[in-house]
Chains A and B, each alone.
Chain A
Amino acid sequence: DAGVIQSPRHEVTEMGQEVTLRCKPISGHNSLFWYRQTMMRGLELLIYFNNNVPIDDSGMPEDRFSAKMPNASFSTLKIQPSEPRDSAVYFCASSPRDPGSAKNIQYFGAGTRLSVL
Chain B
Amino acid sequence: AQSVTQLDSQVPVFEEAPVELRCNYSSSVSVYLFWYVQYPNQGLQLLLKYLSGSTLVKGINGFEAEFNKSQTSFHLRKPSVHISDTAEYFCAVSGDTGAGSYQLTFGKGTKLSVIP
The SS class assigned to the A binding surface is strand
| Size category, A interface | 20 to 34
Q: Mark B87-116, 1 if CB is under 8 A from A, else 0.
A: 000100011000111111011110000000
Nearest-Cβ distance from residue B97 to partner chain A, whole angstroms: 9
**Residue A103 is within 8 A (CB to CB) of chain B in the complex:** yes
Residues of A within 8 A of B108 (CB): 42
Give the distance in Å from the alpha carbon of A4 to the alpha carbon of B106 in the complex: 19
The one of A31, A43, A110, A111 in contact with B106, judged by C-beta atoms closer than 8 angstroms, is: A43
Q: A43-B106, A50-B101 are in contact. Are A101 and B43 (CB under 8 A)?
A: no
Whether B104 contacts A108 by the Cβ 8 Å rule is: no
Give the distance in Å from the alpha carbon of A4 to the alpha carbon of B43 in the complex: 10
**How many residue pairs between the two chains, A and B, have CB atoms under 8 Å in the bound complex?**
53
How many residues does chain B have at the interface if contact means C-beta atoms less than 8 Å apart? 24
The SS class assigned to the B binding surface is strand
**Residue B34 is within 8 A (CB to CB) of chain A in the complex:** yes
Residues of A within 8 A of B103 (CB): 33, 45, 48, 56
Nearest A residue to B105, CB-CB? A45
Q: Mark A30-44, 1 if CB is under 8 A from B, else 0.
A: 010100000000110
Nearest A residue to B6, CB-CB? A42
**Residue A82 is within 8 A (CB to CB) of chain B in the complex:** no
Please report which residues of chain B, range 1-54, place their CB below 8 angstroms from some CB of chain A when the two chains form the complex: 32, 34, 36, 42-46, 49, 51-52
Q: A43-B106, A45-B103, A55-B99 are in contact. Are A110 and B42 (CB under 8 A)?
A: yes
Whether A45 contacts B42 by the Cβ 8 Å rule is: no
**What is B's interface to A at a CB cutoff of 8 Å?**
32, 34, 36, 42-46, 49, 51-52, 90, 94-95, 99-104, 106-109
A–B Cβ pairs within 8 angstroms, 7 of them:
A31-B102, A45-B103, A106-B104, A107-B46, A110-B42, A111-B42, A111-B43
